[in-house]
Amino acid sequence: MRYLILGSGPAAIAAARAARETDPDAEVIVATEEYGSPYLRPHLPDIVSGEKEPAAIADPEGKKLSAWKIEVRQGKRARRVDGARNRVTFSDGTEETYNFLLVATGGKPIVPLALMANPGSFLLLNSLGDALRIRARAMRADASLVYGPGYLGIEAARALRKLGQQVTWVNPGLPRFGNPIPGDIEAKVTDLLRKNGVRIKEGTDIADVLDMDGGTFAVRTTGGEEIRCQAIVVATERLPAVGFLEGSGVKVGTGVLVDEYLRTNVSNIFAAGDCAEVFDINRKESRINFGWRSAIKQGQLAGENMAGGGKLFIRNAEDYFGLLYGSSLQERAK
């Protein structure tokens, strides 16, 4: 049996391990657009602040892939899935076949329209390479603007302020996707950021960006304010990376639509993690359950089910988000 897993995040690694343990004689392949070893994405702000070096955020589970006899194909961005022929084509022109396919491609940041019109004006905080570029830019700058709601916006503002930057955080409001931080916790964390010198502009958005001299930007908000900075960091929510599934036969909503077994409408294709839109049998609705812990649990279940298991996915919001959004986040903001 041949299992092909797209992605190298926590869902992908957990699925690869589960498939290997459930089907010891199988061929298990992880194909990822990343060029380096798997890493712990929640620690990217610590790379920006200099609190951690890249080696310190390596995913210990990812280091075990070779020992588990799981093949890893790096630099492989999925371009097209042929569900009828069990084949994936990648952007470099290569192909991989499969008996079972897991889509664990995560998400891509949502960029506001005003910034999309000025592609050279901002830096994303989404990958290890992004975090290193932000740190390099910040080391040559005095003032930075962070755009984005919720957890990642908070963490980016904290990290840049720790570098000694003058930081303005533009928080447009509640995230449209995922699970918002409870209001009382966000209020406490926001207050800590203010005490540490972060300027916070809430309930406004970016209307326009002007490049003043090749190094300084004038950011105009929808509230009419102008903010000068040398770096704009987009630390916003992510949408599932599923565009390559067009024409595959797999049904897609906001994310990949899966049932309570994490199986798509195509019987040998599964999805897990931040790209999976799971049917919640308790609430009778579909939702994307963003989060590292959720991705691990979904990946493990999907891997087992691809290899013949029949386990239901049971959501536990407190397990996935309580530790991340609780006291630990307040401690980090200090």
Number of domains in the chain: 2
216 and 187 co-located in one domain = yes
Q: How far is CA 167 from the centre of its chain?
A: 23
Residues 6+ apart with CB under 8 A from 274: 9, 11, 106, 107, 238, 240, 255, 288, 290, 295
160 and 246 co-located in one domain = no
Residue 298: CATH number of its domain: 3.50.50.60
68 and 37 co-located in one domain = yes
265 and 307 co-located in one domain = yes
Torsion angle of the four alpha carbons 64, 69, 75, 80, in this order, in degrees rounded to the nearest 10:
-120
Q: How far is CA 158 from the centre of its chain?
A: 19
Would you write out the chain's pLDDT as a tens digit for each of its 334 residues? 999 999 999 999 999 999 999 999 999 999 999 999 999 998 999 999 999 999 999 999 998 999 999 999 999 999 999 999 999 999 999 999 999 999 999 999 889 888 988 888 899 999 999 999 999 999 999 999 999 988 889 999 999 999 999 999 999 986 665 555 666 777 888 889 999 999 999 999 999 999 998 889 999 999 999 999 999 999 988 889 999 999 999 999 999 999 989 999 999 999 999 999 987 767 777 788 777 888 999 999 999 999 998 888 765 555 444 444 444 545 555 6
33 and 130 co-located in one domain = no
232 and 246 co-located in one domain = no
Residue 38 phi/psi, 5-degree rounding, is -60, 145
257 and 316 co-located in one domain = yes
Is residue 201 within 8 A of residue 222, CB to CB? The reply is: no
148 and 72 co-located in one domain = no
Q: Which of 237, 266, 299 is the last residue of a domain?
A: 237
152 and 295 co-located in one domain = no
Q: How far is CA 176 from the centre of its chain?
A: 15
42 and 137 co-located in one domain = no
Domain that holds residue 221: 110-237
174 and 280 co-located in one domain = no
